Amino acid sequence: MTEQSTVLILLQVFCDRKEESFCETEKSSAEQKLFFGKKIKFRHILIEKHYVEKSMLNYIWAVMILLGIVYAACTGQMEAVTNAALDSAGEAISLCLTMAGVMALWMGLMEIAQKAGLIQKMTRGISPFLQFMFPRIPREHPALGYIATNIIANVMGLGWACTPAGLKAMEALAQLEAERGNTAYNSEDAPAANRVASNEMCTFLILNISSLQLIPVNMIAYRSQYGSADPACIIAPAIIATLISTVAAILYCKAKEHSKWRY
């Protein structure tokens, strides 16, 4: 097992595939015992059954609360902690009220853009860029369509549309590998550990993670809630920063694609 695959398994254990699942601890506690009882089988269960119920957020959340209370007990800040816990809970609700307005406005506009065919038009509009980034994907392959949808959804801040399109894109890229005669991708029963990411998969994910975004809607809502004089003033610098990180990602992928070193 190579270093990368071990890293990935660790990630799969810890990452919050279901970010909201930290309220579902009861359901997964039985599965947790199974995990710790059979440490070796654990990895295979994970890969083969898509098992990522246990989330990173469980640990982050618990550690923050436990650490905070223990530290407060040591420094004599228990009263402040009591107030902070109660105040923060109330504050979360007032924040949601501000966010509700901004989100409703943005999603309303995006619905118009969607219905009017604007989003689809943009999706088609980036196909020259996709052909530059993914020269080896045949033009009519469905993977290109899913990748385009994912990128545009990212750019327009349509969180709900990104992930499904992204997952479909990954499946289509796996299919493409099978069509190319990559044996690890040929049958569903092949041991999953043998699947090596294709260049296209790496490029797609790095692009995705570099996160091109036009309007950081959430950030603007948070800023206005905490009394910013000009909540939207971050739009231009944010666009520049996101462009720079995406260009860095493109250069990195192109350099890797042309290097002979395959792993």
List binders of another protein among 78-137 (CB under 8 A).
Answer: 80-81, 83-85, 87-89, 91-93, 95-96, 99-100, 103-118
Q: How far is CA 235 from CA 48, 96, 137, 241, in A?
A: 42, 21, 34, 10
Q: Which residues, in sequence order, are CB contacts of 256 under 8 Å at separation 6+?
A: 199, 202
Could you say whether residue 25 binds another protein (CB under 8 A)? no
Could you say whether residue 30 binds another protein (CB under 8 A)? no
Q: What is the rounded distance in angstroms from the CA atom of residue 217 to the CA atom of residue 223?
A: 10
Stretch that binds another protein, among 24-32, 33-41, 76-84, 131-139 (CB under 8 A): 76-84
Q: Which of residues 156-175 bind another protein (CB under 8 A)?
A: 159-160, 163, 166-167, 170-171, 173-174
Torsion of CA 173, 241, 222, 71, to 10 degrees: 90
Cβ–Cβ under 8 Å, residues 48 and 42: no
How far apart are CB 31 and another protein at their closest, in Å? Answer: 17
Q: Which is nearer to another protein, 34 or 171 (CB)?
A: 171
Q: Which is nearer to another protein, 126 or 250 (CB)?
A: 250
Q: Which of residues 174-193 bind another protein (CB under 8 A)?
A: 174, 192-193
Task: Fill in the per-residue mask, 211 to 240: x = in contact with another protein (CB under 8 A), - = not in contact.
Answer: x-xxxx-xx--xx-xxxxxxxxxxxxxx-x
Could you say whether residue 26 binds another protein (CB under 8 A)? no
Q: What is the rounded distance in angstroms from the CA atom of residue 198 to the CA atom of residue 37?
A: 35
Cβ–Cβ under 8 Å, residues 149 and 123: yes
Q: Which is nearer to another protein, 126 or 219 (CB)?
A: 219
| C-alpha distance across the termini of the chain, in Å | 13
How far apart are CB 142 and another protein at their closest, in Å? Answer: 14
Q: What is the rounded distance in angstroms from the CA atom of residue 23 to the CA atom of residue 7?
A: 27
